[in-house]
Each structure stands twice: as structure tokens, then as C-alpha cells.
Amino acid sequence: MKFAKTLVLLALSSLASLAMAGDIKPFSQAEFDQLTVAGKPVVLDISAPWCPTCKQQKPIIDALMQQPAYKDVTLMTIDFDSSKPALKTFKVVRQSTLIAFKDGKEVGRSVGDTTPSGLEALVKKTVN
């Protein structure tokens, strides 16, 4: 009985944290346009599976997106190797690039930063 209660509490706390998390989804130009026209905060994460810097950034970015302060931020992932039109649109020349948008405008860009404080400062620009 005690185990069942513990299991239920863990499940509920997981659901609560998901409710506070920002969205993480693959990039879609149509959805990006919808979000930015509506003035929603968006961060683009341009990465490649073979990129060591991207691998360092991922857990930091994922942790940031779990914080209540960023629950309204949508993180859209763009694959550096297979999304050349998006790279051209956003003038991206390197993987491990993050671009922050607020009220439909670019408010920050980071290339190769793997510091938690630097990445949080970029994401914070979308909500302040």
C-alpha cells in the first residue's frame, strides 16, 4: 500500500513538472511563423548528432526548459545536416547555434556556448 502511494505521488510530481516545462519540438517554419507573429518566446537550437559542443549544450538547455520561468518558451530543434533551408533563412553557419526570439524579433544569438549561465542568459532574453 505504501509503495502504491509513493508511486502515485511520483507520477503526479512528474506530471506537475511537465506542466511547468516549456515546449521542445522539431522546427516547422509554419509553426515558427505562427508563434513569432503571436509574440510568443521561441528559441531555435541548431545542432548535429555528431557535434561534441551540441552534446554539452543539450542537458543544460533541457534543464532550462524544465524551469517554471521558461514554461512559455518554445524550443524548436533544427538538424544542422538536414535542414539547409532553415539554416539559410536564419543565417546559421555552424552547429551549436542558439537563436532567441521575443515579440517576433531576434533578441540574441549564441554559437558554441556551453556555460549554464551563458545559455540561461540567452533564454532569459525571450521572457524579460
Q: What is the CATH number of the domain that holds 103?
A: 3.40.30.10
Listing DSSP states for the chain in one string gives -HHHHHHHHHHHHHHHHHHHSPEEEE--HHHHHHHHHTT--EEEEEE-TT-HHHHHHHHHHHHHHTSGGGTTPEEEEEETTT-HHHHHHTT--SSSEEEEEETTEEEEEEES---HHHHHHHHHTTT-
What are the tens digits of pLDDT across the range 6-29? 333 333 344 344 445 788 999 999
* CB contact at 8 A, 88 and 69: no
Q: Has residue 17 been placed in a domain?
A: no
Mean pLDDT of 36-60: 97
Stretch 50-58: mean pLDDT: 98
Residue 40 lies in a domain: yes
* Cβ pair 97, 56 in contact under 8 A: no
Q: Crossing angle of helices 52-65/116-124, nearest 10°?
A: 50
Predicted local distance difference test score (pLDDT) of residue 7: 35
Q: Is residue 6 part of a domain?
A: no
Number of domains in the chain: 1
Contact 62, 21 (CB under 8 A): no
pLDDT at residue 117, as a whole number? 97
Residue 28's domain comprises 22-124
- Inside any domain, residue 8: no
The verdict on residue 9 lying in a domain is no
**Residue 3 belongs to a domain:** no
Alpha carbon 118 to its chain's center: 14
Q: How much is the pTM? A: 0.83
13 found inside a domain: no
> Quick check: is 10 in a domain?
no
